[in-house]
Amino acid sequence: MLTVNGNDFRRDSLVVWNNSFLATGFVSRHQLSGVVPAADVAQREQCWPRCLIRQREVRLI
């Protein structure tokens, strides 16, 4: 489970992990959750998580 903290999330916001959309849960305006597949977590590569919010993309650092 991935927890994303931020601002102005909406119920239609999406979490993206290495260019794949995750099953995304809306927790609040300030938090989303995403289910990261175990195979993706086990890879030893750098990941690029992002959020899509209201037609704009937010890169997570």
Number of domains forming the structure of the chain? 1
Distances, alpha carbon 2 to alpha carbons 24, 37, in Å: 9, 10
Q: In one letter, which amino acid is 54? A: R
**Tens-digit pLDDT profile for residues 10-48:** 999 999 888 888 999 999 999 999 998 888 777 767 777
Is this structure's pTM higher than 0.85? no
CA torsion through residues 54, 29, 20, 48, sign: positive
| Average pLDDT over every residue of 48-60 | 67
Q: Determine the distance from the C-alpha atom of residue 55 to the mean position of all C-alpha atoms in its chain, rounded to a whole number.
A: 14
- Is 60's pLDDT higher than 60? yes
Domain carrying residue 23: 2-59
Closest of 49, 47, 39 to residue 3, by C-alpha: 49
pLDDT for res 30 = 93
